[in-house]
Structure 1
């Protein structure tokens, strides 16, 4: 059989380009999703992926030439394609589940999520095309066709009020992007900014909507706690960032002002805001919630022990640094200790009390953000100490003024729990592979990424072309996640996979391949893609 040497050479070049292989994996995930879910939005999603693939190269060129307006995270590609597909795929997967359960309200809500994700992706593409010189004619044509398809479909499936909601999120996204990308240079790639700022923009819009209808507010207080905590913490950060542009943050006077204003804003604005939504005093509600059962008390005590253990690890690793090795960084193995602690934290919570885990993870996010503010602004008395302690655990992705790795880890394991469509699951769990949806973060980050990193760095010899990741690391990652699923079948009685084993193995394999080739924050990206694949 004759083969074309040019085609063989082109294929070899493609396989050595990690960006192209990453794109191929993302396209495979998109096609897998739409092999199960095919509706009016499917063509739009595929068109969006194609145009994002072309636009990604324009963003990559802008990043290399320094023409991307803002300073993005170096040593990584733009990540536009994987980021553009996250929110639309999540919306479509959740919509399918809500449609099956007959929950019309959340089905419409999921449509808004999908349309919003597509609108944000198109907006980011428009920016790239607008600042690229010379104007990329072919890419503009492809983006125009994709945009026309998306806009026409949105017009057909959304009501006027839902379209307005999408535009509101887009407007918030524009202003919030300008603020965060200016205040936090080199912290994100364009793709990471799309996911993070897009998600925050959606949360802000939802909180505003529900606050305006507070008298009619219904629903689980746990969900309102998430909205208020995220928005409140973000507003604190923006407020102090603007304030300390004019004040020296390292003095005792500024530090005292920081603590006072945090207390004033927390007790005077954030807590009353939450009380307005849940129609109860937040502190009393939280105490009643935590002390509701003996199981919750045991879990809280166990989590306090693990938090103390993590603190001891940080202190111990710092104590090993001598004055001659100030530039010493913690090894990969040491950093993965925290992944194991996260697994030990989340698995019991997922098995015994998911609502408590939901609230505790939100509270932990708030604490992490406040501690990062203290570290970043060097607030006395602990700011400088935190800066010294956490410097040991920096990696190449912490290239900006903020240290976000630990926050990304928390988000990675928590997002599948926060995004889980509880109202669309009358029995509290989904059938088949869907039963593993809350475990998506634990599997992808806590187990898969940890095993891949440890085994790949210690035993790996065969590297994936164009990357530092190894075939051995990926293979052991897949195997470890399959073993973890088998253990969950034993210990979690709500997990009943029926005949979906092949789909689970395929999903884990695709996400593990994405981990091997992506240069984006894997703690954030991998759980979301595994969430989508398991949800359908």
Structure 2
């Protein structure tokens, strides 16, 4: 006789508890020790039941696998080697932190030097670069990571878990090092179009960095619209000078021609603009009504953002690379203006934040929109040119489709929860998996996507990302795209061996 559903669910809970206690005990003990030491030191991480220490391996793993098994540029391989050094430091940092919080205050402890030597040896020995270049790349990256990680945890309470702080710090450091290598060393392994895109994106990010630094340095009596106008004027002059020196005298016509006149980009841009207008109108109407948005309403913005990225990845991947870089710079700028205390800009942005913020946005910054944008754009930066198009959709599928679908169905029709202390439901997870597979099927059916063994790869990726989404306490927008990429990487060897 078949078991009743509630008995099967009870058996699952028991099995899950046994699995966690048997195979995750070491990680749980380490996590508890870190949590206890941080509490004694008075350092408050984002209030969840786990520090997510496993997250430190996600970005280095993705970069290392692509560098080892795909045809990638020399710059990509250098960044992958540096990420191994960052991972080594992360592991040592967690081990030290599980013993004492002294590591948070000692900027020059031995673990940093040891991790730096790992990067130096990999760049020097495996990539054949000269020793001076290996040292110049490795030492600044490790010490900057050391500084950023400590800053995230100590100076920004309730904003990050330990794992989230590591991913964010790794991403910032590797981005800065990438820009630095491109500026000061001729790697010579990119085509002309990608050089053009990278120049614009790097200029935008550098300009926003200049604005954010200036806003940070303003005293309270200097925070007004007049000084803001001066800052923007200087930043605009800086951006134009950089673009003029790299692209040439006619940089503005070249940018306009590239975005609007090449191929069918005007139509794509018009579609994106319509989605942006819809999002702004919805945001303004809810802000004026001061109606707190629920989870499903917030996920509607995931869908709009995903439509932008999905259309760009399918129709013109280089254009979406350019747009995502500029968009990330704008998102950072908007958050900086919200925190700048310059009226009436800050209060207007704060009102919108109060309506759409969720329980994860309790720290110093509004990280959810930043994580959403970074999560959707991450595969564009991480996936090599020769990899399957399906892998560039990892972020869109994991958080734009699957996570949004799970949130909608789980909150409305979910009954069986994964755990007592978890609001994720089995029904939501099932719909997460099915929605991702259905989306890939629709893209293949209408010939927007051509991928070998797409059904197998999409199924594995959907299952893995959905299960992680159901169980992790870390921010979905940050970790799920990387998890989905790792799942897709794991299935790639089968595609190479398959005769069909």
Q: Tell me the TM-score range normalised by the shorter chain.
A: 0.7 to 0.9
Residue 446 of structure 2 is aligned to residue 491 of structure 1: yes
Shift of 1:222: 1.0
- 1:115-140 deviation per Cα after TM superposition (whole angstroms, max 9, x unaligned): 322322332333343344479xxxxx
- Consecutive unaligned residues of structure 1, counting only runs of 5 or more, are 1-7, 25-49, 136-142, 322-327
- Measure how far apart 1:95 and its partner are: 1.6
1:13 to 9, 17, 20: 17
Q: Is the Cα contact below 8 Å between 1:87 and 1:113 reproduced in 2?
A: no
* Cα deviation code 1:406-454 (max 9, x no counterpart): 12111111111232312xx2xxxx3xxx330111111001100000111
Change in Cα spacing, 1:53 to 1:283, as seen in structure 2 (3 Å) is farther
2:429 alignment counterpart: 474
1:395 equivalent in structure 2: 358
Partner of 2:374: 411
SS of the equivalent of 1:387 reads helix
- Equivalent residues in 2 for 1:431-450, closer than 5 Å: 434-450=388-404
Q: Give the superposed CA RMSD.
A: 3.4
Counterpart position of 1:226: 201
Say if 2:60 and 2:87, in contact at 8 Å, map to a contact too: no
Shift of the alpha carbon at 1:476?
A: 0.5
1:300-449 to 2 correspondence within 5 Å?
Answer: 300-321=269-290, 329-422=292-385, 425=386, 430=387, 434-449=388-403
Q: Distance in 2 between matches of 1:258 and 1:98?
A: 46
Which structure 2 segments of 5+ residues have no match? Answer: 1-11, 102-110, 493-500
Aligned to 1:169: 141
- Determine the structure 2 residue equivalent to 1:32: none
TM-score by length of 2: 0.82
Offset of residue 75 of structure 1? 2.3
Q: Distance in 2 between matches of 1:14 and 1:485?
A: 35
What SS does the corresponding residue of 2:70 show, helix, strand or coil? helix
Q: Which residue of 2 aligns with 1:255?
A: 225
User: What is the match of residue 206 of structure 1?
Assistant: 178
The alignment of Structure 1 onto Structure 2 pairs a total of residues equal to 462
Query: Alpha-carbon deviation of 1:480?
Result: 0.5
Question: In 2, distance between residues paired with 1:217 and 1:268?
Answer: 30
Change (3 A) 1:131 1:416: closer
1:74-113 map, 5 Å: 74-82=47-55, 84-99=56-71, 106=73, 108-113=74-79
- Per mean C-alpha deviation after superposition, the further-off stretch among 150-159 and 402-411 is 150-159
Q: Secondary structure at the match of 1:392?
A: helix
In 1, the alpha carbon distance for the partners of 2:375 and 2:20 equals 28
Instruction: Give the SS at the match of 1:468.
Output: coil
How much has 1:500 moved relative to structure 2? 5.0
1:273 equivalenced with 2:242 (yes/no): yes
Determine the structure 1 residue equivalent to 2:95: 129
The question of 1:62 aligning with 2:37 is answered yes
Out of 178-187 and 221-230, give the one that drifted further: 178-187
Instruction: Identify the match of residue 157 of structure 2 among 185, 207, 210.
Output: 185
Q: Given that residues 507 and 534 in structure 1 are in contact (C-alpha distance below 8 angstroms), is that contact kept between their aligned partners in structure 2? A: yes
Instruction: Give the TM-score of the pair, scaled to structure 1.
Output: 0.77
Q: Aligned partners of 1:151, 1:229: CA distance in 2, in Å?
A: 29
Higher RCO (CA < 8 A, seq sep 6+): 1
**Does structure 1 conserve the Cα–Cα contact (< 8 Å) formed by 2:13 and 2:418?**
no
The residue matched to 2:399 in structure 1 has which SS?
helix
Q: Name the residue aligned to 1:518.
A: 472
Contact 1:58 1:129 in 2 (8 A): no
Deviation for aligned residue 1:320: 3.5
1:377 partner SS: coil
- Structure 1 pair 164/262, CA: closer, same or farther in 2 (3 Å)? same
